[in-house]
Structure 1
Amino acid sequence: MSEVKEWYLEYQILINRPGLLGDISSLLGMLRIKIDKINGVDKDRRGLLLLVRDDYQIKRVEPILHTMETIRVLKLRKPEVTDRLALRHGRYLERDKNNRKIFKFVRSEIGLLVDFLTELFKEETHKLIGIRGMPRVGKTESIVAASVSANKRWIFVSSTLLKQTVRHQLIADEYNENNIFVIDGIVSARRADERHWQLIREIMANQAVKVIEHPDIFIKYTEYSLDSFDYIIELRNEPDEEISYQMLEDHLLLGSDFYGFDT
């Protein structure tokens, strides 16, 4: 028996008339394409997760869908992370218009952010993820919650979640590529010595998922750039909140310690 394959179909409704979804369901059913999930993903858009036994079924249905006057096919592809989340939450994630690797969230959307990170953590590919945000907005908590949801172990290389953590070495089982390595760019820049930076270089060369809090600070003290990141997440208390570390950067440049900034 052939393996079931997933496809994602998204269309815009041009003429919203009774029975439209039934017409599409009947068409898919005649070609033995099963609808696994369906949801509105915008005010006039609908997304469907399809199950097929053979990709040829998609090739057969695609030209027919394009002839329908009531809809316009927007996407017909193997489902991406953003497609799955759109189906689950009924809308797409907000992305920066100028840089598509930047995803924007507000604190009230923590659940959506955790789901997004969970999907990224589950994928068996190396990723470098940066998270921007002001103090106590929920960055570290989101990383931990997503690690639990993805059934992954999180390793704090530098952090302030419970107490200020600056690691200089890992124990043997912590080098597992299945772990999630969490680095706080501010803590590392402010408190670390050469042994810590050597550990960071080792981890960055590891084919595991790395999550860098405050990536803009991190890149100023390493050879990495924002282009090195696969995803940049911005988490705000409110949509119009400015994410700024100018005060902290001034202290770092002066070489002074700064305990007042809880990351």
Structure 2
Amino acid sequence: MEKQEWYLEYEIQKNRPGLLGDISSLLGMLSINIVTINGVDQGKRGMLLLAKTEEQIVRLESILRTMDTIKIVKLRKPKVRDRLAVRHGRYITHDADDKKTFRFVRDELGILVDFMAELFKQEGHKLVGIRGMPRVGKTESIVAASVCANKRWLFVSSTLIKQTVRSQLFREEYSDQNIFIIDGAVSVRKANEKHWQLIREIMRIPAVKVIEHPDIFVQNSEYSIDDFDYIIELRNNPNEEITYDSMYKNQLFQDSEFEGFDF
């Protein structure tokens, strides 16, 4: 039987020498392997474990709950946030009211790329929106995450290098292994009906689609924010407000200034 991964997170109640060794010995006696271990918050440790059967995990939990030195916080199949917490030593920030919205600042681009790469590795349809002000690193992060996930990226609409507005794909580009990148602002401002027909076709492909400026995109299309599986917000600093007012005031949507602008 193939081993399965589990995530254990516990809070230290009484920190004493040898505590980690005791837990490691217990895992060894139950034939459970430790894949990764790291502190994930003040006074908390996270572990990725490998076990052959769920019964091993049930026995582990029952023993750990008898220990007065630790308190189990989580013991479950690992989620993306769990893997990243162990890898980077802390949890990524998500909106308390909207669980599908995750927040990053520019200093956290490495964590953001890791997070998106984990999403991109998943099979099937995923619709990801990314908000952020100009020059904050949205497109570059998407491309870097595609590389990390070993996926090919395709710009359906973009201004990263030059203005891109596509109205058709080559046959080999209709692949569920591709990452389709759409700049919602470009599609709304510059595209024709053929481009929107292509977007509808892409939406039906069981693959990852990433849409920059999702709010502009949904305001001018038949899609809604509820259609998105994840919303990512990227800021220069935690207090920065993401707004499109400055773009309109600076006439960034006018033809003369829009071309070649990376936002």
Please classify the TM superposition score into its range, dividing by the shorter chain length.
Answer: over 0.9
Q: CA deviation at 1:28?
A: 1.3
Corresponding position of 1:115: 114
Give the counterpart letter for 1:95 in structure 2. H
Structure 2: gaps (5+ residues) = none
CA distance in 2, matches of 1:229, 1:203: 14
CA distance in 2, matches of 1:115, 1:196: 31
Give the counterpart letter for 1:61 in structure 2. L
CA distance in 1, matches of 2:16, 2:45: 14
Corresponding position of 1:72: 71
Corresponding position of 1:182: 181
* Backbone CA RMSD of aligned residues: 1.6
CA distance in 2, matches of 1:178, 1:85: 23
Check the 8 A contact 1:251/1:257 in 2, yes or no.
no
Corresponding position of 2:28: 29
Q: Which 10-residue stretch deviates more, 18-27 or 208-217?
A: 18-27
Matches within 5 A, 1:1-263: 2-248=1-247, 257=255, 259=257, 262-263=262-263
Question: Per the alignment, in what secondary structure is the counterpart of residue 69 of structure 1?
Answer: coil
CA distance in 2, matches of 1:28, 1:129: 38
Check the 8 A contact 1:183/1:212 in 2, yes or no.
yes
Structure 1: gaps (5+ residues) = none
Q: CA deviation at 1:191?
A: 0.4
Query: 1:82–1:227: structure 2 CA closer, same or farther, 3 Å change rule?
Result: same
Q: CA deviation at 1:95?
A: 0.7
Question: Per the alignment, in what secondary structure is the counterpart of residue 67 of structure 1?
Answer: coil
Aligned residues: 260
Question: Per the alignment, in what secondary structure is the counterpart of residue 203 of structure 1?
Answer: helix
Q: CA deviation at 1:33?
A: 0.9
Question: Per the alignment, in what secondary structure is the counterpart of residue 259 of structure 1?
Answer: helix
Question: Per the alignment, in what secondary structure is the counterpart of residue 103 of structure 2?
Answer: strand
Q: CA deviation at 1:26?
A: 1.4
Q: CA deviation at 1:247?
A: 4.3
Give the counterpart letter for 1:226 in structure 2. I
Check the 8 A contact 2:124/2:176 in 1, yes or no.
no
TM-score, normalised to structure 1, is 0.95
CA distance in 2, matches of 1:112, 1:31: 33
CA distance in 2, matches of 1:12, 1:122: 31
Identity, % of aligned pairs? 66
CA distance in 2, matches of 1:62, 1:222: 49
Give the counterpart letter for 1:102 in structure 2. T
Q: CA deviation at 1:110?
A: 0.7
Cα displacement string for residues 36-57 of structure 1 (whole angstroms, at most 9, x for unaligned residues) = 1100000111001111111211
Give the counterpart letter for 2:239 in structure 1. D
Give the counterpart letter for 1:44 in structure 2. G
Q: CA deviation at 1:204?
A: 1.0
Query: 1:258–1:217: structure 2 CA closer, same or farther, 3 Å change rule?
Result: farther
Give the counterpart letter for 1:62 in structure 2. E
Question: Per the alignment, in what secondary structure is the counterpart of residue 147 of structure 2?
Answer: helix
Check the 8 A contact 1:190/1:257 in 2, yes or no.
no
After TM superposition, the runs of 4+ consecutive aligned structure 1 residues lying more than 3 A away are 247-252, 255-258
Q: CA deviation at 1:226?
A: 1.1
CA distance in 2, matches of 1:19, 1:258: 67
CA distance in 1, matches of 2:173, 2:194: 17
